[in-house]
Amino acid sequence: MADVLVVAEAAEGKLKKTTHSAVTFARQAAAALGGTYSILVIGDALGEAAAEAAALGAAKVLVAESSALKDYVAERYVPTVVAAAKGYAVVVGTASAYGKDLLPRVAARLSAGFASDISELIVDAGRGSASAAPSEGSTLKYKRPMYAGNAYGICTVSTPVQVVSVRQSAFAAAEPAGGKAAIEQVAVVPPSAAAERVEFVSFDQVKSERPELAEAKVVVSGGRALKERFNEILDPLADVLGAAVGASRAACDAGYAASDLQVGQTGKVVAPSLYVAVGISGAIQHLAGMKGSKVIVAINKDADAPIFQVADYGLVADLFTTVPELVKQIQAARS
C-alpha cells in the first residue's frame, strides 16, 4: 500500500476550487496504489476550509494552522508541508500560481522527482493489462502537455517520494463523497533563519462580482480586434451569460484588457462548459489555454481564422454588430 497527500490551497479561510481537481487525481492514484489519500490544509483561520476538505472522502484531514501563516510565503509553508508529507508516496497539488511556487520547493526538500502540470494519470499495473487489479507494484505514469499542447510527453518518477502538480482543467472537480473525515491538527514547523528574512509586503487582488476566470463555468473572451470597445462589447454578453471575462495576450498587450484576464500558454488555463471567443484569431498559444473547454463558440469576421478549427460553433460576422444582437436575442429568449 502507498498513500497520497493532497496539499490544499486555501484563501480567506475557504478551500479554493483548484484543490478539488487535485483530490480527483488523489482518488485515482490512491486506488491504483491500493492506499488512501489525505488532505493537508495550511494557513490561518481554517475552520471552514477544513470542514469542506473533510467532506471530500479523504482518510483524514491534516490542519496546520497558525497566525504566522496568514499570508502565503513559500519559505514559511515549505517546512510544515515537508514534515506532513512523511510517510506518503505521492504529494500532489494543483498547477495554480500557488502550486507552481510551493511544490517545486517541497520536492527539493524531499529529494523527490517532480512531474509538473500533468493532464492525465496512467496506471501501469505491471501485468501487461491496463485493467489488472491495482497493487503496491503499480507504476504511475504522467502525461503532460508540451509545445503549447501540440505534443504530449509521458514520464515516470523513480524516486521513493513523488511530487505532482495537476492541470486544473484536465481533472474534474471532486464532489463531496459523503461522510466526514477525521480532522487532525499537525504542528507548524518554524521556518529557517534565512526564511525569516523573507517579508510579506502585500497582495494586490482584483475584486470582481464576476466568477473567477480559472473556475468559471462560462467564459467570454475577447481579442485585439475589439480595440478600445473591449468592455463595451464583452461586458453585456458576460452579464447575460453569468460569465467570467477573458482576453487574448494580444488584447492584454495592447492595453485593451487587464493582464490578469489573459487566457493562454503564458496566462490562465481554463476549461469551462462554454467558451465564447470574440475576435480571437486562435494562435496556438491561446488555444493551449482554452481548447479543453466543453463547448467552444467563435465569432470572427475572418473565415480562415484558426479558432474555427477547434470551435464547435462558428459565426463569420462583424462582432461589433453581432455581439450586441446576440445579447438582445438571449435577453428576449429568457424573458
Mean pLDDT of the chain: 91
Name the pLDDT band for 283 (thresholds 50, 70, 90): very high
CATH number attached to the domain at 213-334: 3.40.50.1220
Q: What is the pLDDT of residue 204?
A: 77
Can you give the residue ranges of every domain in the chain?
Answer: 4-197, 213-334
In angstroms, the Cα distances linking 24 to 19, 176, 315, 322 are 9, 11, 36, 40
Q: Is 281 annotated as a binding residue?
A: yes
Q: Is 263 annotated as a binding residue?
A: yes
- Does 335 have pLDDT greater than 90? no
Q: Is 280 annotated as a binding residue?
A: yes
Q: Is 156 annotated as a binding residue?
A: no
- Does 130 have pLDDT greater than 60? no
Q: Is 130 annotated as a binding residue?
A: no
Q: Is 299 annotated as a binding residue?
A: no
Domain 4-197 has CATH 3.40.50.620: yes
Helix (H, G, I), strand (E, B) or coil at 261: helix
Name the pLDDT band for 85 (thresholds 50, 70, 90): very high
Asked if the domains at 4-197 and 213-334 fall in one CATH topology, the answer is yes
Q: What integer is the mean pLDDT of 252-279?
A: 93
Q: Is 224 annotated as a binding residue?
A: yes
Q: What is the pLDDT of residue 133?
A: 38
Q: Is 249 annotated as a binding residue?
A: yes
Q: Is 255 annotated as a binding residue?
A: no
Q: Where are the alpha helices (DSSP H) in the chain?
A: 18-33, 47-54, 74-84, 97-110, 230-241, 249-253, 284-287, 319-334
For the entire predicted model, the pTM comes to 0.83
For the segment 226-236, what is each residue's pLDDT rounded down to a tens digit?
999 999 999 99
Q: What is the pLDDT of residue 136?
A: 53
For the segment 194-222, what is each residue's pLDDT rounded down to a tens digit?
888 888 898 877 677 888 898 899 999 99
Q: Is 283 annotated as a binding residue?
A: yes
- Which residues, in sequence order, are CB contacts of 274 under 8 Å at separation 6+? 217, 218, 219, 241, 243, 293, 294, 295, 297
Going by C-alpha positions, the residue among 23, 217, 35 that lies closest to residue 121 is 23
